[in-house]
Amino acid sequence: MVNEQAIAARTASIKTKGQQKQQVACDTDSVAGAVSQRACVYSGARVVLNPITDAVHLVHGPIGCASYTWDIRGSLSSGSELYRNSFSTDLQEEDVIFGGEKKLVSSIDELVSKYQPELVFVYSTCIVGVIGDDLQAVCKAAEKKHNIRIIPVQSSGFAGNKSAGYRAACDALLKIMPNEGPVEQKGNTVNYLGDFNLAGEIWIIKDYLKRIGIEVNATFTGDSSYRTLQRAPQAALNIMQCAGSMAYLAQRMEDIYAIPYLRVSFLGLTDTAASLRSIAASFSDPMLAHRTEALIATETATINRQLEAYRTKFKGKKAAIFVGGGFKAISLIKQFRELNIEVVMIGTQTGKQEDYAVMQELVNDGTVILDDANPAELEKFMVEKGANILVGGVKERPLAYKLGVAFIDHNHDRKHPLSGFVGAVNFAQEVYSTLCSPVWHYV
Partner 1 sequence: MLECTPQTITERSAGKINPAKTCQPIGAMYAALGIHKCLPHSHGSQGCCSYHRMHLTRHFRDPIMATTSSFTEGACVFGGGANLKTAIKNVFAIYDPDVMAIHTTCLTETIGDDIPSIISSAEIPAGKLVIHTNTPSYVGSHITGFANMTKGMVNYLAESDGKPKKEQVNLLPGFVNPGDMLEIKRLVKAMGIKFIMFPDTSGVVDSPMTGEYVMYPSGGAKVEDIRDSGNSKLTLALGSFASTDPAHQLERKCKVPALTLKTPIGIKATDELLMALRQSFVQEIPAELATERGQLVDVMTDTHFHFHGKKVAIFGDPDVVIALTEFVLSLGMVPIHVLTGTPGNAFEKKVNAMLLEAGVSARVKAEGDLFELHQWLKHEPVDLLIGNTYGKYIARAEDIPLVRIGFPVLDRSVHSYLPVVGYKGAMRIIEMISNALLDRADRDAKDEDFELVM
Report the nearest approach of partner 1 to the CB of residue 404 (Å): 4
Which residue from 18, 20, 78, 109 is in contact with partner 1, where contact means CB under 8 A? 109
Which residue from 26, 41, 242, 267 is in contact with partner 1, where contact means CB under 8 A? 41
Q: Which stretch binds ligand SF4 (CB under 6 A): 37-45, 112-120, 177-185, 226-234?
A: 37-45
The closest alpha carbon to 425, from 240, 203, 204, 214, belongs to: 204
Residue 90 binds partner 1, judged by CB under 8 A: yes
Q: Which stretch binds ligand SF4 (CB under 6 A): 38-46, 311-319, 351-359, 433-441?
A: 38-46
Which residue from 11, 20, 79, 81 is in contact with partner 1, where contact means CB under 8 A? 81
Residue 40 binds ligand SF4, judged by CB under 6 A: yes
Give the span between the Cα atoms of 415 and 419, in whole angstroms. Answer: 12
Question: Which class for 16: exposed (0-12), middle (13-18), buried (19 or more C-beta within 10 A)?
Answer: middle
Residue 204 binds ligand SF4, judged by CB under 6 A: no
User: What element of type H or E holds 66?
Assistant: helix 63-67
Say how many Å lie between the first and final Cα of the chain, rounded. Answer: 20
Residue 154 binds ligand SF4, judged by CB under 6 A: no
Residue 187 binds ligand SF4, judged by CB under 6 A: no
Residue 416 binds partner 1, judged by CB under 8 A: no
Residue 126 binds ligand SF4, judged by CB under 6 A: yes
The closest alpha carbon to 370, from 20, 4, 49, belongs to: 20
Question: Which class for 225: exposed (0-12), middle (13-18), buried (19 or more C-beta within 10 A)?
Answer: buried
Task: Answer yes or no: are the C-beta atoms of 300 and 276 closer than 8 Å.
Answer: no
Give the span between the Cα atoms of 108 and 115, in whole angstroms. Answer: 10
Report the nearest approach of partner 1 to the CB of residue 373 (Å): 13
User: What element of type H or E holds 218?
Assistant: strand 215-221
Task: Answer yes or no: are the C-beta atoms of 273 and 294 closer than 8 Å.
Answer: no
Residue 129's contacts (CB-CB under 8 Å, 6 or more residues apart) are 156, 158, 159
Give the span between the Cα atoms of 104 and 422, in whole angstroms. Answer: 45
Residue 6 binds partner 1, judged by CB under 8 A: yes
CA atoms within 13 A on the CB side of 106: 7
Residue 432 binds partner 1, judged by CB under 8 A: no
Q: β-strands 342-348, 261-263: how paired? A: unpaired
Nearer to ligand SF4, 42 or 356 (CB): 42
Per-residue x/- track, 60-99, ligand SF4 (CB under 6 A): -xxxxx----------------------------------
For ligand SF4 (CB under 6 A), the number of binding residues is 12
Task: Answer yes or no: are the C-beta atoms of 351 and 15 closer than 8 Å.
Answer: no
The closest alpha carbon to 200, from 78, 71, 328, 52, belongs to: 78
Give the span between the Cα atoms of 142 and 181, in whole angstroms. Answer: 26
When CB distances are held under 5 to 8 angstroms depending on the partner's kind, the choice from partner 1, ligand SF4, none that residue 109 binds is: partner 1
Nearer to partner 1, 210 or 402 (CB): 402
Report the nearest approach of ligand SF4 to the CB of residue 9 (Å): 23
When CB distances are held under 5 to 8 angstroms depending on the partner's kind, the choice from ligand SF4, partner 1, none that residue 98 binds is: none
Report the nearest approach of ligand SF4 to the CB of residue 123 (Å): 8
When CB distances are held under 5 to 8 angstroms depending on the partner's kind, the choice from partner 1, ligand SF4, none that residue 384 binds is: none
Residue 42 binds ligand SF4, judged by CB under 6 A: yes
* Sign of the alpha-carbon torsion through 315, 316, 322, 327: positive
| C-beta atoms surrounding 329 within 10 Å | 26
Nearer to partner 1, 210 or 395 (CB): 395
For partner 1 (CB under 8 A), the number of binding residues is 77
When CB distances are held under 5 to 8 angstroms depending on the partner's kind, the choice from partner 1, ligand SF4, none that residue 22 binds is: none
Give the span between the Cα atoms of 385 and 366, in whole angstroms. Answer: 9
Per-residue x/- track, 274-293, partner 1 (CB under 8 A): --------------------
Using CB under 8 A as the binding rule, the residues of this chain from 52 to 71 that contact partner 1 are 58, 61-70
Interaction site with ligand SF4 (CB under 6 A):
40, 42-43, 61-65, 125-127, 157
